Amino acid sequence: MSVEKYLKPEVINQIKRLDLRAQFVVKGFLQGLHASPFHGFSVEFSEHRRYAHGDDPKDIDWLVYAKTDKYYVKKFEAETNITGYLAMDISAGMDYTYNQDLTKFDYAICLAAALAYLMISQQDPVGLLAFNDKIRKSLPPKSKRTHLGNMLSMLARLKPHGTTDIAGSLQQIAAMLKHRSLVMIFSDLLVEDESAVEDMLNSLYRLRHGGHDVILFHILDQAEVDFPFTGLCEMEDPETGRKIKVDGQGFRSEYKKQIEAYRETIRTACQQTNIDYVALDTSMQFDKALMEYLISRRSRF
Amino acid sequence: MVWANSLLLAIGGLLVGVPIILHLLLQPKPKSLIFPAMRFVRENQKTNQRRMRLRHWLLLALRMLLILILAAALAGPSTASNRFGSWVTTGLFGSAALIVAVLLTATLLTKRRQNFVMPAILGVVLLVLLGVAGYSLAQSLRGNDGPVIGDQRAPVAAVILIDTSPRMQYLFENKSSLGRAKEMADWLIQQFPPESQVAVVATDDDSLFYSVDLRAAKKRVQTFGLNFSSASLPERMTVAYEFLDKATQARRELYVLTDLTRQSWQTTAETSLKDLASRYSETGLYVVDIGSKQVANFSVDSLQLQQSTFTKKDSLKIECDLKYQAFTGEGDAKLNIGTRVVRLKVEKPDATRPVRQDGKTLVPEEYITREANVSFDNQGNSSVQFDVSGLPEGIHHGTIEIEGDDGLAIDNLRNFTIEVKPAWPVLIVHAQNANTGFLEDVLRASATAYKATVIEEDEIGNEDLRQYRAVFWLDPTRPTDTTWEQLHRYTSVGGSLTIFVGAGAEEKKRAAENFSTESAIKIMPATLTRVFLGDGPDREVYLSPDSMTHPIMAAFRQSASSIRWSRYPVFKHWGLKQNEGGDDAATEVILRFSNGNPALVERRVGSGRVLLLTTPLSPSTNVNVDRWNDLTVIGDGWTFLLFRMLGEYLVSTVRGELNYSVGEFAILPNDDRYFPQRYRMFSPRNEDPGTVTANEQFVRYRFTDTPGHYRLKGRLEQVVLRGFSVNLAEKSTDMTRLDEQDLESLIGKDQFSYATDRFEVQREQGALRIGREFYPLLILLLVVIIGLELLFSNFFYADPPGR
């Protein structure tokens, strides 16, 4: 049995340690790539070239000079690294699943851990931001291997709570980031109303205009996509506590249309601003999200 | 509109409330769910709730309609007229079509226009409903001859025919079939619409008339009792059909309340029931089966007396066939019934009885009883014999009864009447020279008692022959026409005469001519031709019986081949030829000689009989006369036995039958010299005795409608007791039943309605009396409603795909 099975949420749920989860997800993903166009993502130097005027003398490879009596400088991959930020929505609404193995939050954690693992193994510095109505926790980006442990331990300690204010939180993040970074947002994007959606999109634009690359992982529970309920149901909002009675079957198609329209709205908005939008639900394998990251990374270099 | 069972409709009406109660009281509690994406739920909540409520009401309405239609269908709605029925059908299916049309429009106008399954199904249903409604409307507009609308309670002309045969006394669950029939008739009368004309008639009743009103009809039913000589149902039905044909009402009904026994439906009528039912097809025939399907019945089927009149010397010999019938309704029951006791009882002749006392008829005591244990074979048959001797002189009434309980008690007993006489008075008439010693010896040694009077043939004119049971005429010479006429009178009323012809017939030349005169051939079995001489070595012949079927020959059947008749030679005998213009069929040769000539010949004359022996039985005392035969030589005693049997055969002729079947005319000879002219008749009906008067030497009595002993008590010098017995006709209590298929072959398929209880009668009435039944249509509608309900509930509450 290959490690690819760990890409399935129901399998990864059986592993409790987050570091192992991340490791298995990434290994499973990489094994599945085969003749991957992304071959060579590692901490290797990529090329030697003749020293030219203006080059930093620090970069001269003295070993080569000893052998060849010529100045060469070596160019390392460190030059291609980007700083990544994992922005996790930890509002109470994320702690939900109807009949899946992982909640939206668990799913987001697994995905974030895997991405952190992947990035750090490529010596990309990665930081962590957790927000609900504002940024609640943060970890600065680093690329050391020891940093991964810190990242994962923080991720493991995160508990979803409170209401969400994505727009405000994203504005905070935009203000916080000094350098051009890759911001990966993990959220269900469930906001109060249309104006909140607009605010949220504006905040995303602002982040993008700040020069950051944004990947938006829109994570919904499968029940939030398919609405599988039957009969009379009384539904309660976990964030506001409001209750509504609806007829499951009668409501399904209308609901699905709505949620699809919502996803479509965000996708369109993201396309316009070159934000990568990845619509996920908790029944999907992790590789879709990872692939999205790699494609995004490649397109940058 | 008529409902066969309006109670069901009422119950159904109440049950319609059940879905409403379920809807109002037992609304399911909503499932509580946490759901973060509430924004999208909230936006459509109002539309969803409105639709949800609409669907609930729609399904509720469909379910209520479903229960209502089911109840209506089971309640058996119908209308009196076809036309009205067509209107109702049009309305029913038109309304249904309207509802479906509304649903279809609503479906088409909803947002689900892209789903064509539901509209397509609704469209097909709508077309079907419109088709039925349209067809029905066409029928209504075309019109028919049926009764006008609202005529369903129109008065009817009805005849209720109740079987009152003895079989209807069969008791099942403590109630007789007749009792059940009366209850059913009573109920039927209650059901008739007011102003109906009802005639109630029993199978034994000749008078068929409409009762004044329904109450009078009910009273008349209660007067019916069993009748033992009932006519068969088909005969009475013929009369009833003809009677109903004259009715002014358009609606005519004939109800036959029967236990459906095969006997009741047997007919000898020329017109078959099938023809009758098709001829009067407008008259509704209802065969109401009120008989029990489970039958267990013992019966004394038949009773044979060897003779009903005999002498003290004789013994009473009775043989009875017994029958056991058992049906369970599911085929014949196993006839494992062990043994039963059959008891014979004979009353002692008692001059003081019968007598009426305290409203009862006291009858003589029983003084002889015999019992026998009988067992039945697999077919339920058995027989028993009784032999009683030493009965004193007089009239004896008796019974044979099979003991133990069964459903029908009336056939467990049979009655008989016998008469014991001191001795049979017989007359021996002889020619002057004839020797009567041998014949007298034969009579004296016989098993029965004779009182013989011997006279010479010249004296016969002075004798009143009626007092003699039999007359023996030995060697007649010169019989005159007066004598022949006298003998003819005697034999034609039942007298027995034996003529032994011999030398007397040839004493004078052409004497034989006296035996072929016009008067003589009225009783002579044949005409004498000439005297034959034997052709053996000593010119003899002998008796040579070739058939043993005659009762006289009964004693020789066992040893026919071992008897040496040649030891009784006959030297001379008369030859015979057929009488001129005579009837050969009335003459039988009982015995022949070895040369083939007849020896003993019998002829029936009136109710009597004449035997002719062609050789004399009286050796002539005149030595000059030739010897004719050696039949009177005792020898082995065979000829002695032959003439003894002849004597017993002659007196056994029963004059005046003492045992009758119900309904038969009882006739007793009543010689006014020995019997009184007036009698008091004590019938078994336990009523005060009436008077019966003899007329022309006979007592005639016609009211033999009840089985039992009929006792006549008169007085001449002293009390004279006479009587006879009446029994049910043989097999009249055969309980074998017809089934519905038998009835169909008897009356014709679809020519009658068969019912076993009130509900079935109502249902059949509904079908026959009423123009149209809505059951099938309602069931069709029910199917449509069930289909719609399923369709909608599946459509509304379909499982999400992939789950």
C-alpha B570/C-alpha B593 separation (Å) is 8
Tokens 């693992």, residue located: A117
Q: At what angle do helices B775-796 and B38-74 cross, to 10 degrees?
A: 170
pLDDT digit string (tens) for B514-530? 787 888 888 888 888 88
Confidence class for position A6, pLDDT limits 50, 70, 90: low
B201-240 burial by CB neighbour count: b if 16+ within 10 A, else e?
Answer: bbbbbeebebbeebeebbebbeebebbbbbbbbbebbbbb
C-alpha A43/C-alpha B699 separation (Å) is 149
Q: Does A124 touch chain B (CB under 8 A)?
A: no
DSSP secondary structure string for all residues of A101-156: SS-HHHHHHHHHHHHHHHHHHTT--EEEEEESSSEEEEEEEE-SHHHHHHHHHHHH
Cβ proximity of A227 and A251 under 8 Å = yes
From the list A188, A246, A259, the residue facing B48 with the nearest CB is A246
Residues 17-36 of A with CB under 8 A from B: none
Cβ proximity of B302 and B320 under 8 Å = yes
| B326 beta partners | B296
DSSP secondary structure string for all residues of B666-699: EEEE--TTTS-SEEEEE-TT----EEEE-BTTEE
Q: Does A299 touch chain B (CB under 8 A)?
A: no
Q: Does A140 touch chain B (CB under 8 A)?
A: no
User: CB under 8 Å to B275, separation ≥6 — which residues?
Assistant: none
Is the C-alpha dihedral spanning A144, A146, A152, A156 positive or negative?
Answer: negative
Q: Does B736 touch chain A (CB under 8 A)?
A: no
Report whether pLDDT(A38) > 50.
no
Among B70, B126, B80, smallest CA distance to B103 is for B126
What strand order describes the sheet that includes B2-3?
B2-3, B77-79, B772-773
Give SS3 for B120. helix
Contacts of A234 in chain B (CB under 8 A): 30-33
C-alpha B794/C-alpha B803 separation (Å) is 15
pLDDT digit string (tens) for B639-654? 888 888 888 888 765 4
C-alpha B563/C-alpha B139 separation (Å) is 93
pLDDT digit string (tens) for A283-298? 888 777 777 767 766 6
Contacts of B52 in chain A (CB under 8 A): 232, 246-247, 250
CATH 3.30.70.100 for domain B424-651, yes or no, is no
Cβ proximity of B211 and B182 under 8 Å = no
Pick the residue of B41, B53, B59 with the most A CBs within 10 A to test the interface with A by mutation. B41
Element (H, E) at B568: none
CA distance A51 to chain B (A): 60
Report whether pLDDT(B556) > 50.
yes
Q: What is the DSSP letter of B593?
A: B
Is the C-alpha dihedral spanning B387, B388, B393, B397 positive or negative?
Answer: negative
User: CB under 8 Å to B143, separation ≥6 — which residues?
Assistant: B83
C-alpha B399/C-alpha B471 separation (Å) is 34
Position A129 scores a pLDDT of: 93
Contacts of B48 in chain A (CB under 8 A): 246-247, 250-251, 254
Written as six digits, the tokens of B94 are: 């038109």
Contacts of B32 in chain A (CB under 8 A): 233-234, 236
Q: Does B695 touch chain A (CB under 8 A)?
A: no
| Cross-chain residue pair A235–B799, CB shorter than 8 Å | no
**Per mean pLDDT, which of B208-222, B546-560, B788-802 is the most reliable?**
B208-222
Contacts of A224 in chain B (CB under 8 A): 35-37
Pick the residue of B27, B29, B38, B794 with the most A CBs within 10 A to test the interface with A by mutation. B38
Confidence class for position A64, pLDDT limits 50, 70, 90: confident
pLDDT digit string (tens) for B168-209? 888 888 888 888 888 888 888 888 877 788 888 888 777 778
Report whether pLDDT(A36) > 50.
no
CATH 2.60.40.10 for domain B296-421+657-727, yes or no, is yes
Report whether pLDDT(A167) > 70.
yes
Q: Does A245 touch chain B (CB under 8 A)?
A: yes
Report whether pLDDT(B627) > 50.
yes
CA distance A259 to chain B (A): 7
Q: What is the DSSP letter of B379?
A: T
Q: Does B50 touch chain A (CB under 8 A)?
A: no
Give the CA angle between residues B23, B28, B33 to the nearest 5°: 150
Q: What is the CATH number of domain A3-34+82-300?
A: 3.40.50.410
CA dist A239 → A105, A160, A195, A245, B158 (Å): 14, 11, 18, 17, 84
CA distance A260 to chain B (A): 11
Give SS3 for B397. strand
Contacts of B37 in chain A (CB under 8 A): 188, 190, 220, 224, 259
Cα torsion through B639, B643, B646, B647, rounded to 10 = -160
Position A47 scores a pLDDT of: 64
Q: What is the mean pLDDT of chain B?
A: 80
Tokens 């003529």, residue located: B499
Q: Are strands B470-474 and B698-701 parallel, antiparallel or unpaired?
A: unpaired
pLDDT digit string (tens) for A72-92? 887 654 445 678 899 999 998
Report whether pLDDT(B511) > 60.
no
Residue range A5-14: average pLDDT? 66
Residue count of chain B, please give it: 803
Contacts of A229 in chain B (CB under 8 A): 31, 33
Position B54 scores a pLDDT of: 79
User: CB under 8 Å to B672, separation ≥6 — which residues?
Assistant: B694, B697
Q: What is the mean pLDDT of chain A?
A: 80
Position A128 scores a pLDDT of: 92
Q: What percent of chain A has pLDDT over 70?
A: 81
C-alpha B527/C-alpha B518 separation (Å) is 11
Position A266 scores a pLDDT of: 92
Position A218 scores a pLDDT of: 92
Residue range B245-258: average pLDDT? 82
Position B390 scores a pLDDT of: 79
pLDDT digit string (tens) for B376-435? 887 788 888 888 887 888 888 899 888 877 888 888 888 988 888 778 888 988 888 778
CA-nearest residue of chain A to B53?
A247
Chain centroid to CA B28: 69
Give the CA angle between residues A7, A13, A19 to the nearest 5°: 75
Q: Which CATH class is domain B157-292+742-769?
A: alpha beta
Q: Does B26 touch chain A (CB under 8 A)?
A: no
| Amino acid sitting at position A93 | G
C-alpha B715/C-alpha A12 separation (Å) is 129
CA dist A144 → A21, A74, B637, B734 (Å): 19, 22, 155, 116
Contacts of A93 in chain B (CB under 8 A): 36
Residue range B311-316: average pLDDT? 77
**Domain spans of chain A?**
3-34+82-300, 45-78
- Cis before residue B354, ω within 30 degrees of 0? yes
The residue that leads in pLDDT, A5 or B733, is B733
C-alpha B737/C-alpha B742 separation (Å) is 9
| Whole-model pTM over 0.90 | no
DSSP secondary structure string for all residues of B703-726: ---S-EEEEEEEESSSEEEEEEEE
Contacts of A246 in chain B (CB under 8 A): 41, 45, 48-49, 52
Pick the residue of A94, A163, A192, A237 with the most B CBs within 10 A to test the interface with B by mutation. A237
The residue that leads in pLDDT, B342 or B761, is B342
C-alpha B772/C-alpha B147 separation (Å) is 12
| Cross-chain residue pair A240–B38, CB shorter than 8 Å | yes
| Cross-chain residue pair A259–B39, CB shorter than 8 Å | no
Report whether pLDDT(B118) > 80.
no
Position A39 scores a pLDDT of: 39
pLDDT digit string (tens) for A169-204? 999 998 888 888 889 899 998 888 888 899 999 999
Position A264 scores a pLDDT of: 93
Written as six digits, the tokens of B642 are: 């032959």
The count of other CB atoms within 10 Å of the CB of residue B395 is 21
Q: Does A263 touch chain B (CB under 8 A)?
A: no
From the list B28, B36, B43, the residue facing A224 with the nearest CB is B36
| Cross-chain residue pair A258–B43, CB shorter than 8 Å | yes
CATH 3.40.50.880 in chain B: give the residue spans.
424-651
Q: What percent of chain A has pLDDT over 90?
A: 15
| B332 beta partners | B327
CATH 2.60.40.10 in chain B: give the residue spans.
296-421+657-727
From the list B41, B47, B797, the residue facing A235 with the nearest CB is B41
From the list A94, A244, A252, the residue facing B800 with the nearest CB is A252
| Cross-chain residue pair A249–B798, CB shorter than 8 Å | yes
C-alpha B451/C-alpha B468 separation (Å) is 9
CATH 3.40.50.410 in chain B: give the residue spans.
157-292+742-769
Report whether pLDDT(B769) > 70.
no
Element (H, E) at B532: strand B527-533
CA dist B630 → B203, B441, B659 (Å): 65, 16, 43
Confidence class for position A234, pLDDT limits 50, 70, 90: confident
Contacts of B41 in chain A (CB under 8 A): 235, 244, 246, 251, 255
Cβ proximity of A278 and A218 under 8 Å = yes
Contacts of B46 in chain A (CB under 8 A): none
C-alpha B423/C-alpha B750 separation (Å) is 66
Position B169 scores a pLDDT of: 84
Report whether pLDDT(B767) > 70.
no
Position B798 scores a pLDDT of: 57
| Amino acid sitting at position A18 | L
Window from B304-308, B413-417, B437-441, B448-452 with minimum mean pLDDT: B304-308
The count of other CB atoms within 10 Å of the CB of residue B244 is 24
The count of other CB atoms within 10 Å of the CB of residue B375 is 10
Cβ proximity of B419 and B308 under 8 Å = yes
Position A35 scores a pLDDT of: 37
